Structure formats: structure tokens, C-alpha cells
Structure 1
């Protein structure tokens, strides 16, 4: 099994370099013999990106146990709710989260272990209880509506996703992948990191994203692939070293987002780096629909085509779009403990509204629950947001529905301006009038210092609507 590096610094990388297979075997032995972990048991992880999180996942899979990565951005009370829901008996932590882990262990009755506990070499090998149907990974959804649910990824799901993602990204032993997104989420863990290891590639693992460190690493270590999201793409573009950084080692940047602002994509394309979108959800691998490099520049805004082995079809219609349904070997079948995630035929309803082009490619236009129906007309928030994002003074924005006695609903939008920039409501209205039908122009405007978001960075439109309705947001 290949090696993973934590940073670009050779001294820090050397300290973290090791054989992942041997480390996974040690983790399995410790969990089985020292902690008494058995098939089906859950073990939680709290920490920044670290090779030990990967080796713990592999080690637990060997004995048929399950890894629960905790989102370190959550509040303490949220950790407690997740732990109470899926009842892990053990919690492994890194040095930075030692105190938080001890507090959580004391409050929730968990046995708490530092990373060093995984390094014991005096234990016999653990028995092999690996099974395709065995759950291997629990990942909680972001909970934008209702409470978060844990998607149960089996070993077969994870292996299928590794094969699919490696094939589409054409990964091989000669590739180097730079991972900067958090591995407590399937994006950072499953889109590139695990597929790269499956393909025998090298992984450079940063504990957290830092724009300057990422650019320095891209120039010095010359990774061939990396995964970003709109927020990190924006941070890279705004960093003082963006223009001077050598990006020539990258053969593609993959972006894990259903909706990518065109200006961000075009800035990478101007540097000769194709931006390849990958669409998915916590429940779908998440490598489900992908835009390959050869179409990255002529299909800007598209998510591409279903990945090998993944099927996509339209579900319930919503005007000119329909809810996207997915089926495939990497898609989870249940939520913890035993709630169905798919229908009887294995189709997962994504909740996302999509349109399919004549060439078979798919474009996501928004969430079904976010659709604005004003005077009988359907308005997709993404249409407004994409058009506004083209204005140079707009840093980010979010459109949402507000109730209206005459129209049923009306379109509202919250706008965050670029630091130091100025633009009035009239300026932005004029900008939109050149790009959108009149009925799609927002009727209510709110200028905010920042947008409310979940711990995973998703805009909370419901919170915006509540604040606007209660006149908390100042327009």
C-alpha cells in the first residue's frame, strides 16, 4: 500500500511517512486485542486530517468494525448528539483535539485514546472479519433540513467508489494527489484520497486547508490532481501568490460541488488548468456524476455524465427540471441504524433538481425544497446566484423564497460584497436585467457581512428566510 504525506515540508512528511498496510494491521490489532472492538462496533475519530484516520479506517474494516469521523467544526453538544445516536465505545484523537476528546469522553462515557495508542507492535494480528456487506464508515449528513442522519457505507460501497473514482480521474501510480479538504466528510476522504491509494498513487495530506500552503505545495511538490470546493477555489484566487504560483504540474482540479460559480472556473481555465466537476452526496459515494477533463472547458456549469456503473434518471418534475435519482454500487442503502436510504428498486432521491442535455450530461439547478414558485412561475435560486456571481462586486450570494400574499412566494436574495467594493441594489438589478427574465429578478434584497452556513459550508437558506421574515436582517 502506498504512503501518505501530511505536509509539503520534508521533515514533517518524513515523520509521518509509513507503510499504510502495516499501520492498518497494527490499528486492527490494538482495536481487537487492547480495546475489545468486535464486528459491528463503532470507533469515533476527532482530529484534523492525518494518515492515522485512514489507517484506522482500514484497520477497523479488517475486523468488521466501523469508523465514525466527527466533524471538528461542530459544537460540543452536537458531538454529544451524534455519539448518543450511534453509540461508539471508543474515541481516537490527535494532539490538537486532546482536551475536547477528553471532555467528550467524560460526558458520553467513551474510552479515549491518543494517536500513540495505535502504534503498539507487541500484539498478535487481529482476525480477519472483512466482508463486503459489513458497514465500514458512518458519515452524518449536514442536516440542512431536519436532524442529521448517518449514512452507512459498507466495505463494498467504499471499494466500488474507489474503483469508479480512480477510473474516471484516470489515476495511476504516477499520480500525486493533494488533499486539503477535511476527511470527516466523504468529499475529502472518498473523492480522491481513498481512490488514489487504491490506484497506488501518492497522497500529500494537509491537516487543514490554507491557501498559501496549498499554493506553495502545488508549486514545490507538483501534485497532478487536487480536490477543491468553491470556497477554497476563491481563497486560492484571492491569495497574493496566486498569479506567481506554478500550477503546471496539475493536469486537473476536481471540484466537489453541484453548483460552481463560472468566474472561479474560468480563472483556473485561464491558467490552463481544467476544472472537472464531480457531483454526489454523502449517501452516493459520493462519486456519482462527473465532468471529465476533455469536456471541462466546453461544459462549464455542467456536472457531466454518470460515472461507470452509476445510473441517473429524472424523478418528480418541477417545471423545467426534475429531481435527480441515482442508483449504483457506491450508493448507501440505509441510514443508521436501519432506516432505508433508497426505494425498493435501489434508487436514491437526491433532492436536487437537474436538467439533462441532449448529449446526456446533467446540470444541477438547485434543491427541490429551495425552488421559488412566484405567481405560478418556477424560479431556481441557482439561476439568480449564477448571474449575480458574474458581477465583480459580489463575493457570494444566496437566493431564497419569502411568503407573499399576492404572489404566493417572492424571490429574495442575500448578497455579500467583495471587501472594499460597492454596489447598490439598483446596480445589481440592472446587472440581472441583462441576464434574467423580469419575473426572476429578486424583489427583496439584503446586504450581509456573511451568509449563514452549516459546518460543511452549505448556505442555510431557511435561516436567511427566518431572519428576513423576522426583520432581523437589515436590508
Structure 2
């Protein structure tokens, strides 16, 4: 159970460094005291077992403190993407039934706009007075994280991760990265994603290592943090890797403290892997999804050097297979859907039995991704069954964007797909049939305040008619060809 992690380290190594953030340095004993105070505060608010507490803010120790407090009380944290617009945040808060929303100072106004009736806004950065720890009630099978991921229906779905799933995910990561108490992990990816939270940050705290948090990514800040803190591990996505390699400080930066980096969220281009390998830093790929914790397939350091570009092999506590459309497992070399199984999986989607039944079949999670397994047991990514656009590590689902596009002025009909982009991997593009008063710039402005900025189409391509099948469905590949040409 994760509720015991910090208490255990505080008992055995109280003075060991646990969390660093700006000028703050918390030992494991100090972190344990902060968690006890937060748990006491939540209890005083009437929050307890099964209640949902949302968090809105840039990377901050408060999120981790509240997460461990929730684990001790059997409550559930709902991390919120601070890039979302107020209507999107409100939907998640209402769907999850959050009774409280803890917000950092820079997000307090957004929190007040988003919080529905009955959802108390708390100051996440408040210093709560020391208080005795309420009796712990959180158990291994209690949900502790409710992480929302966009769905193909255009509405986010909340993946329910219990304490056991977070534990086994951390064990998978500890094995893959060889994490020990001697490590120092630099966390710069957002903690509202299971990637930023669960691939290295939480595993490091289970191992008794130190975590240094950066509020958000900035290339210059990253290089400065490497020089100051000398981390042994960090986690990146392709867009961040590209920004670092292209930065003027890349060649001169002393990266020798890093024994490896983790990478994932989308296919990592081989030239980026080679750029890091040329600096003596193996790129260990991690494959998974919000629904898998996410560590499901991964590379060790040796595997990263032996097979650059592969996803690796099934995580230590997990299974993976490639199946045909009928669900039959395929032999090595044949491409099919990647399916995943293990104690690190989510138990399903919050309040959504039908999507849960569709995605979790006989204990296996259907990833929606196409891949193959080679003769050595390594998995390789091929393509996506789903139409997800992955832009800078963020998932964008066309249906969600199309709901807003349909209300844009001068648009008779439209569809959204991804266009390859050298910086972001992909960017969303709207392909529309124009009507009276159509103006492409006005269509782009229409998304302001309705969706997070990273979901906004970067371009509008006008066509006489959308490409459709005989049954009237939009032909996605033809749409993508139009977007590329536009």
C-alpha cells in the first residue's frame, strides 16, 4: 500500500532527502510530517474514505503531499490538467464528484471559475499546522488516483488506479531503471499525467530516492537544473527531447550525471534517440497508457543500447501480447493490436461500465495500438488503431475538437486530424466545408476559451466535400492526406 511508503522511509532514514522544489528541501521525516498535517486537514474538512479531491497546479510538492494523504485516508486524488479551459475542468469535477479542489496560487482564479457547487476550493500551498495523523484506513484495493484521459467520444474518461496498481507500476519502473535510494530524479513533465507522476516520480519515492521538481519545462531551466542538482535520471517526451537538442546550450551542457533518460508518450524518433546516445545517455523507452499505470512495456538500460527504437519487453509485473481482430495471439513478426495485462492496470473507467467493458476484456487492456513482437520478445510500435493525435506528448482526440468546430461560424461541416510537425510530432488540423461568411482566422479564434490551447487546430483547410465511405463515415487516411497537402 502506498500509504506506508513515506512513513517507512521516515522511520528508517529520516534525514534522507525526499523532495526538492525551488528553495525547499524536504527530508523523508519532514515530508511525513507534512502528509500527516494534510491528512488531518482533510479529515477536519469532513473528507474521508472514497471522497475525491482534485488538484490543479503546476508541478508542486503539495500534489504529492495530498496524494499520500489521500492514500492514508482511503480518499482519491483527481489530478487536473492546468492547460484545460474552465468548461473542461468543470466537466471533470462534476463527473468525478470531487468534494474539494486544491489549487496552487497561480491557479486559484481558474479553480474558482471551474469549481461547481459543493466543491470546496482549498489553498494547496497552505502550511497546515502539525497534527496527529488520523487513523489510516486506505487499503491496497482502494482507488487512490482518478486520472482523466480524453476518449474517442469526445468526453474525457476517468481511469481508476487503486493503491495496488500504483505499487506494481512503481515496482515495474524500479526494475526497468534500476532505481535505488542513491538516485536523484529530475521531474519536469507534468504530474497531472501518469507519465510525469508514475514513471519515475512515485517509483523514486518508493525506492527512497530524492525527487527534484521543476514547475514546468523550459530548456534553459532544464540545463540549469542539471548543473545544480546533478540528477541521475529524468523523463522526457519527444517534443521536449527535440527542444533540448535544438537548444544552443545542448552541446556545452554537462549531462554526465545522467545514467539514462526515460522516454515515451508517443513513438520516439530514432534521430532523437541517436542524439542522446551520442552524448552517452541511453534512452529507455516506456510504453503504456493512463489505463496501464502506465509502465507496461519498457526497456532496461542494456536493452535501450541493444535495440534503439524498440518499446522493450513486458514489464516485470505484467504481460503483453499482439492479437488479430478476433483476439487470437499472433506469432513474432506479425502486426496486430497490442494488449496488456497485470496488477498495474486500472480497474476501469469511473462510472462508465460500457467503455470499461470495451477496453478491458478478460483481464486484458486493448491498447488500440498496432505493433509487433520480434523473435527476441521485443515489442515494436507500428501504428495506431485509434485516431488520437499526440502533440508534444499530449493526447488530442478529434471528436472533442470537432464538437467545438461544428459551432464555428461559416462552417457547414468539418473534421479534425493530425498533420506531421517537426517540433510537436503532430498538430491538429481542421478540414472544413465552408459556408456563408466563412473566414479561416475566425474559425481558429472560435476555439479560444473553449478548449485547451494545445487542442486548437493549427490550420484550417477548406474543401468542397469531406472524403466519406459509402456508409457516410469520414475516410481518415484521405482526410490526413488533405491536411498534409493543405
Same fold (TM over 0.5): yes
Residue 369 of structure 1 and its aligned partner are, at CA, apart by 3.2
Q: Which residue of 2 aligns with 1:6?
A: 21
Residue 343 of structure 1 and its aligned partner are, at CA, apart by 4.0
Deviations 1:136-185 (A, max 9, x none): 00001133553210000001111111112112211001100000000001
Q: Which residue of 2 aligns with 1:403?
A: none
Q: Which residue of 1 aligns with 2:419?
A: 414
What TM-score do you get using the length of structure 2 for normalisation?
Answer: 0.75
Q: Which residue of 2 aligns with 1:48?
A: 58
Aligned pair partner of 1:109 in 98, 118, 123? 118
Residue 257 of structure 1 and its aligned partner are, at CA, apart by 2.9
The answer to whether the 8 A contact 1:258-1:280 is kept is no
Separation (CA, whole Å) in 1 of partners of 2:79 and 2:461: 29
Q: Which residue of 1 aligns with 2:410?
A: none
Deviation larger for 308-317 or 245-254: 308-317
Assess, with a 3 A threshold, how the Cα gap between structure 1 residues 323 and 459 changes in structure 2: closer, same or farther: farther
Residue 328 of structure 1 and its aligned partner are, at CA, apart by 0.5
Separation (CA, whole Å) in 1 of partners of 2:464 and 2:200: 38
Aligned pair partner of 1:90 in 100, 109, 114? 100
Separation (CA, whole Å) in 2 of partners of 1:418 and 1:336: 34
Residue 113 of structure 1 and its aligned partner are, at CA, apart by 1.0
Separation (CA, whole Å) in 2 of partners of 1:331 and 1:343: 9
After TM superposition, list the pairs within 5 Å mapping 1:8-407 onto structure 2.
12-14=23-25, 19-32=30-43, 34-105=44-115, 107-117=116-126, 119-121=128-130, 123-143=131-151, 145-317=153-325, 320-337=334-351, 339=353, 340=356, 343=360, 345-370=362-387
Question: Which 4+ residue blocks in structure 1 deviate beyond 6 angstroms?
Answer: 15-18, 456-461, 463-468, 470-474
Residue 125 of structure 1 and its aligned partner are, at CA, apart by 2.4
Q: Which residue of 2 aligns with 1:394?
A: none
Assess, with a 3 A threshold, how the Cα gap between structure 1 residues 145 and 299 changes in structure 2: closer, same or farther: farther
After TM superposition, list the pairs within 5 Å mapping 1:423-434 onto structure 2.
none
The answer to whether the 8 A contact 1:259-1:365 is kept is no
Separation (CA, whole Å) in 2 of partners of 1:226 and 1:96: 25
Assess, with a 3 A threshold, how the Cα gap between structure 1 residues 459 and 325 changes in structure 2: closer, same or farther: farther
Structure 2 unaligned residues grouped into runs of 5+: 1-5, 7-16, 391-395, 399-416, 425-443, 468-481
Separation (CA, whole Å) in 2 of partners of 1:252 and 1:287: 17
The answer to whether the 8 A contact 1:83-1:108 is kept is no
What TM-score do you get using the length of structure 1 for normalisation?
Answer: 0.77
Separation (CA, whole Å) in 1 of partners of 2:348 and 2:454: 24
Residue 38 of structure 1 and its aligned partner are, at CA, apart by 1.8
Structure 1 unaligned residues grouped into runs of 5+: 372-380, 383-397, 401-411, 420-448
The answer to whether the 8 A contact 2:18-2:28 is kept is yes
Deviation larger for 47-56 or 343-352: 343-352
Two-structure CA RMSD over aligned residues (Å): 3.4
Deviation larger for 36-45 or 214-223: 214-223
The answer to whether the 8 A contact 2:31-2:65 is kept is yes
Separation (CA, whole Å) in 2 of partners of 1:39 and 1:414: 45
Deviations 1:227-276 (A, max 9, x none): 00001101111111111000100000110234111111111011111101
Residue 118 of structure 1 and its aligned partner are, at CA, apart by 5.4
Q: Which residue of 2 aligns with 1:387?
A: none
Separation (CA, whole Å) in 2 of partners of 1:457 and 1:281: 19
Separation (CA, whole Å) in 2 of partners of 1:167 and 1:3: 20
Q: Which residue of 2 aligns with 1:385?
A: none
How many aligned positions are there?
Answer: 401
The answer to whether the 8 A contact 1:173-1:202 is kept is yes
Separation (CA, whole Å) in 2 of partners of 1:89 and 1:138: 13
The answer to whether the 8 A contact 1:258-1:303 is kept is no
Name the structure, 1 or 2, with higher relative contact order (CA <8 Å, separation 6+): 2
Residue 417 of structure 1 and its aligned partner are, at CA, apart by 5.9
